Structures are given as structure tokens and as C-alpha cells.
Amino acid sequence: MAYGIVIEETGGVDLYRFGRSKQIFRGPKPDLREPYFTFIGGSEPFGKFVLEPYPKLVENRIGQTCVNLGTPGAGPGFFLKDPVVLETCSRSLRCVVQVMDAAPLSNRMYEVYPRRNMRLRYVSGVLRTLYPQVDFSGYRYVSAMIRKLKEVDSEAYKVVLAEQRSAWLARMLELLQDIETAKTLLWIRPEGGNNLDQTVTQEMVNVLAPHVDNVLTVPVTVPENGGRGLTGLRKDTGWMTRAVHAEIAAVISAELQALQPQKRPA
């Protein structure tokens, strides 16, 4: 997922490749010789349209290296495909795992690209049978396809949503098991707005809770326009403003500072 990223206040944003990983992450490149914390997730920790996303703000607050491994549009399957990222997370003092969206994830209805999770790779016969009236050949992105499915037949979409959620729980549980260090599950929960999708529910988060050390839920109020016009973002991500990043950072920083000092895993 190589992105040309420009922030109005600063111009270009540093990107770098991490070790043997083929993925590009947001810089500056961290120094891992001292104990560090890791952050994984999708567009929210990456912070495409802010000068300092919440992992960087946490680093500023607590004075300890915070490695931002967030990737735009990523689902849990993205991180399961990258052993370098998993190893880096496992060697950190603690990994903050964002509750990612359920849509950018391969399931029995459709398949996404391993490193471009929002790109549609394949549509299954099951989905074609469920929606015989839809021509899937024109869809390159999962988000556009999902909007069409809901518009055409909201009842049939419930079957798609159930499959998305089932696959998401399985992959998230696998991801949490593969990260061999203390884990904080971070749910940035948008509230309000018009036609705001909620593919992940409280019940799903409750299933994951026993597999992490703690869960942080940060409710974020979404404007009625979904954030359109706030930062030039699309409607579904416009609510991740600088103020929201600062709010999330404050919650995480308080949690990390309350922890007893821990030694870095050998």
C-alpha cells in the first residue's frame, strides 16, 4: 500500500520499509535498540491527514519509542501475513492492537489482496448467487461493492455481514495469539453521524477481551455529515481529526504510564 501522502502544514511525510518486510510504514524510522511499544491497525493509527497521529503523540507524552505499524485500509489478515511485523510486536513491551474494520478481510464471500486489503481480488460463487442482479466486474474496491450490496438488497447483505464478522473474529483471535507480549485492545468507537457503518459490535469485542491484557474503548462523536469537509477526507474517515488523535493519545498514555516498568522480552 504505497501512498503519496502530503500534509498541508509540512509537505511530504516520511515513509520507510521495515527490515525484511515489504510493506511501507509511516516514519520517522524508529530506533528499536531500547524498549519500545508497538501500535498496529488501519488508517486510524497511520494518520494519513494529520501531522502527528496518536502513536507519535503517545511517544511525545511518555518519552518512550512508539512504533507505528498502522497501514491504511488494513484488516487483521494483513498483519498475519507479515512475520517481520509480528516479530517486532512480540519483542515490544506492549502492543496496542486497534479494533480494525471487518470489511477489508478475505472471507467466503470475497477475497482481498494480501497487502492491499481494500482492493477486491475475487468474488465467490456464493456471493454471486446471493446477488444475481449485481455485475461484480466493475468493482475494484471492497467499500464500493459493499455500498452497492446494501443498496440493492439490505436483507441479503445481512448474510454478507455475518460472514464478515465470523471471519474477523477468527483472524483477530489468531492475530492476538501470534503476538507474544502484553496486549492492549483499542476500540476507537465512532458514535452518531448519518449512515455510519458499525461492522464490529460490543459482543465481538467481548469475545476478544479474554485474549488481551486490557481493553480501551474511546468513543468518538462523528458529525452528522460524517466528517466530510473537516479535513478533505472521505465520509467514513473524516472524523479522525487532530483533536480525535489527541483524545486517543491521552487515553493510551494514561494507561501506559500506569503500568509497572517491564523488561524487554529476550
Domain ranges of the chain: 6-103+168-258
Give pLDDT, residue 17.
84
Mean pLDDT of 122-147: 95
Q: Is the confidence at residue 7, as pLDDT, over 80?
A: no
Mean pLDDT of 95-102: 96
My answer on whether omega of the bond before 223 falls inside 30° of 0, hence cis, is no
Q: What percent of the chain has pLDDT over 90?
A: 67
Q: Is the confidence at residue 3, as pLDDT, over 50?
A: no
- For residues 193 and 261, what is the distance between their CA atoms, to the nearest angstrom? 40
Q: Is the confidence at residue 221, as pLDDT, over 90?
A: no
Mean pLDDT of 33-39: 95
Q: Is the confidence at residue 119, as pLDDT, over 80?
A: yes
Mean pLDDT of 3-11: 44
Higher per-residue pLDDT: 20 or 63 = 63
Mean pLDDT of 253-263: 76
What is the DSSP track for 152-203? H-HHHHHHHHHHHHHHHHHHHHHHHHH--SEEEEEEEEEEESSS----S-HH
Q: What percent of the chain has pLDDT over 70?
A: 84
Give pLDDT, residue 149.
97
Q: Is the confidence at residue 234, as pLDDT, over 80?
A: no
- For residues 59 and 42, what is the distance between their CA atoms, to the nearest angstrom? 19
- Classified as helix, coil or strand, 57 is helix
CB atoms within 10 A of CB 101: 26
Burial of 232 (0-12, 13-18, 19+ CB in 10 A): exposed
Give pLDDT, residue 230.
35
Q: How confident is the model at residue 194 (pLDDT cuts 50, 70, 90)?
A: low
Q: Are 90 and 41 in contact (CB under 8 A)?
A: no
**Nearest in space to 246 (alpha carbons), one of 61, 38, 66, 27:** 61
Query: Hey, what amino acid is at 35?
Result: P
CATH class label, 6-103+168-258 = alpha beta
∠ CA 177-178-181, rounded to 5° = 85
Q: Is the confidence at residue 228, as pLDDT, over 60?
A: no
Query: Hey, what amino acid is at 31?
Result: D
- Minimum mean pLDDT range among 138-142, 188-192, 213-217: 188-192
Q: How confident is the model at residue 239 (pLDDT cuts 50, 70, 90)?
A: confident
- Cell numbers that stand for 25 in this block: 510504514
**Nearest in space to 121 (alpha carbons), one of 100, 135, 105:** 105
